[in-house]
Amino acid sequence: MLSRNQAKHIQSLKLPKFRREHGQFVAEGVKLAEEMLESSFRIAEVFCMESWLKKNEAALVRKGIRFQEVDETELERISQMVTPNEVLMVVEIPEEQQDDLHLPDLTLFLDQIQDPGNLGTIIRTADWFGIGLVVCSPGCADLYNPKVIQSTMGSITRVKVVECDGQEFLARASVQAVVYGAVAGGQDIYQLEVSFPAVVVIGNESQGISKDLFPLINEQIGIPRFSAKAESLNAAVATAVICSEFRRKA
Amino acid sequence: MLSRNQAKHIQSLKLPKFRREHGQFVAEGVKLAEEMLESSFRIAEVFCMESWLKKNEAALVRKGIRFQEVDETELERISQMVTPNEVLMVVEIPEEQQDDLHLPDLTLFLDQIQDPGNLGTIIRTADWFGIGLVVCSPGCADLYNPKVIQSTMGSITRVKVVECDGQEFLARASVQAVVYGAVAGGQDIYQLEVSFPAVVVIGNESQGISKDLFPLINEQIGIPRFSAKAESLNAAVATAVICSEFRRKA
């Protein structure tokens, strides 16, 4: 039986304030839960239906993870999904270790990506294209927002994501890497000769890259437009097209 | 003063049933409204705040479009947006003319794309890459769903989108065009030699392309994966990467 306090605690994790306070976030659904179990994330507690427990109890016991069986009504009460899916995990937010940040061959720097769906989708895309590091500016959506977590589709367990101030990160990065900035009307990415290690800066959905970061960008790049009137691409879409081009050329 | 019946009518257009019944949908926000005004869509009525009316009254009068000034509270009452933005239009759903469907050099066929955000983002992407025609299977999200309309960011006024059964459309299309299907593990799009006119089939977010369409696909194509464990890309992201590759090679 789920206690009132437990339900209240889990529900509080919808809000960034309580996620910070408790250092925890929620991950839900069969697929994500199984990826969490295999990842290095520390799982505080699992609330799951009998069906899921049957398949995963051995793993939970082996790893010493606390769990509690809940019924459908209880799961609905704590779930943040439209259609709750067998299991909800409370997971510890890992502590960031930034000082020895090693740059892989391709890094994304996200400057104030504000839509949680975009942020999650970008992390999922980074996973596909083997991008080892995603750096978020402090103005990005909260990484542990349930919509971000869900839209990564499990990639959150595989892609390293850290937060860092843009000027600070790009100043450090430019010592080792070429810094590319995605900009409307930038140099045609199809023609571009790419140098690695590379950092690609993606700007805010409506404002683009912050003005104060431009001096730190070595090359402004853009996706050619094939129609006179189209105005822009979705930020996650633009990121994917650029990642694809960089990987094709690597 | 907004009447109760007006508010009720507009609110009913959130639901597909009433959109079909009235043959109308809602388009909101300054940018989209201005694109609608310039498009061939027939606007039934405009509800707007004074600020917007000042700038656009002349155009409304010239085009003989009915309009009504509303205050912020009234706009909030009828709006489907989190943050209502000055103007809401009730727009006529255009009648489809399919029989003489002419295939442009590049066409997308969407097979049961169910997330409205994905559908809207794909239409926006099609606009950018100059894709003249997007064909939706009957199982796709409703094109006039407010989330679809908003996420096209105005591209709905420029991209031709029609609904057609997959087997019927692809059988007709394959007479003139090569039909490519996006499939996990399909032929590497970076290496692919592309023939135009081309039709690219994009499958459902979790199920992929319907089995009954496979016999109509000439070439199965895929986006190379650069990480061992990543499972998939978001459907709108995958579509964009493929469109980009086709355009790069055209």
Write down the mean pLDDT value for chain A.
95
Give pLDDT tens digits for A14-41.
Answer: 999 999 999 999 999 999 999 999 999 9
Smallest Cα distance from B10 to chain A, Å? 25
| Closest alpha carbon to B110 in B137, B145, B138 | B137
Whole-number Å distance between alpha carbons of B74 and B78 = 7
Chain B: give the shortest CA distance to residue A229, in Å.
Answer: 8
- What per-residue confidence (pLDDT) applies to B99? 62
Residue among B121, B128, B231 minimizing CB distance to A226? B128
**What pLDDT, on the 0 to 100 scale, is given for residue A99?**
62
CB contacts, 8 Å: B191 with chain A? none
State whether B125 and A245 contact (CB < 8 Å): no
Nearest chain A alpha carbon to B125: A233
Predicted local confidence at residue B95, as pLDDT: 87
Q: What is the ipTM of this complex?
A: 0.94
Residue in A closest to B234 by C-alpha: A121
Q: Which residues pair with A201 in a beta bridge?
A: A109, A181
Of B129, B151, B230, the CB nearest to A226: B129
Residues of chain B found within 8 Å of residue A124, distances taken between Cβ atoms: 230, 232-234, 237
DSSP A102-168: ---SEEEEESS---HHHHHHHHHHHHHTT--EEEE-TTSPPTTSHHHHHHTTTGGGTSEEEE--HHH
For chains A and B, CB pairs below 8 A equal: 98
Mean pLDDT of each 10-residue bin along chain B, 250 residues long: 93 95 96 94 97 96 96 94 93 80 93 98 98 96 96 94 96 95 96 96 97 98 95 96 96
Would you say how long chain A is, in residues?
A: 250
Residue A96 has pLDDT above 80, yes or no: no
* Confidence (pLDDT) at A95: 87
Contact between B197 and B105 (Cβ < 8 Å) = yes
Contacts of B54 (CB under 8 A, 6+ apart): none
CB contact under 8 A, A124 and B233: yes
Q: How many CA atoms lie within 13 A of B222 on its CB side?
A: 15
Q: Which residues of A219-229 are buried (b: 16+ CB within 10 A; e: fewer)?
A: bbbbbbbbbee
| pLDDT for the residue numbered A75 | 96
Of B227, B240, B248, the CB nearest to A240: B240
My answer on whether omega of the bond before A197 falls inside 30° of 0, hence cis, is yes
Does A236 sit within 8 Å of B241, measured CB to CB? no
Residue linked to tokens 């597909």? B16
A45-87 per-position pLDDT tens digit: 999 999 999 999 999 999 999 999 999 999 999 998 888 999 9
The arithmetic mean of pLDDT across residues A108-121, rounded, is 98
Residue showing tokens 């995958």: B238
A194 secondary structure, DSSP code: P
Q: Which of B85, B119, B128, B131 to mutate to test the interface with A (most CBs of A within 10 A)?
A: B128
Please, what's the largest Cα pairwise distance for chain B?
61
Residues A107-132 have a mean pLDDT of 97
Cβ separation A154–B233 shorter than 8 A: no
Q: Identify the pLDDT of residue A101.
A: 73
Model confidence pLDDT, tens digit, residues A196-221: 999 999 999 999 999 999 999 999 99
- Answer yes or no: do B247 and A224 touch at CB < 8 A: yes
Closest Cβ–Cβ partner in B151, B155, B231 for A230: B155
**Residue B161 CB contacts under 8 Å (≥ 6 apart), including other chains:** B123, B133, B134, B135, B136, B143
pLDDT at residue A230, rounded to an integer: 92
A75: three-class secondary structure by DSSP: helix
Q: Give the distance, in angstroms, between the CA of residue B28 and the centroid of all CA atoms in the same chain.
A: 15
Contact between chains at A125 and B223 (C-beta distance less than 8 A): no
B197 prior amide bond cis, ω within 30: yes
Q: What angle do CA A233, A225, B131 make, to 5 degrees?
A: 85
Interface of A with B (CB under 8 A): 117, 121, 124-125, 127-130, 151, 153-155, 158, 190, 223-227, 229-234, 236-237, 240-241, 244-245, 247-248
Q: What is the 3-state secondary structure (H, E, C) of chain B?
A: CCCHHHHHHHHHCCCHHHHHHHCEEEEECHHHHHHHHHCCCCEEEEEECHHHHHHHHHHHHHHCCCEEECCHHHHHHHCCCCCCCCEEEEEECCCCCCCCCCCCCEEEEECCCCCHHHHHHHHHHHHHCCCCEEEECCCCCCCCCHHHHHHCCCHHHCCEEEECCHHHHHHHHHHHCEEEEEEEEEEECCCCCCCCCEEEEECECCCECCHHHHHHCCEEEECCCCCCCCCCCCHHHHHHHHHHHHHHHC
Compute φ and ψ for B87, nearest 5 degrees: -150, 145
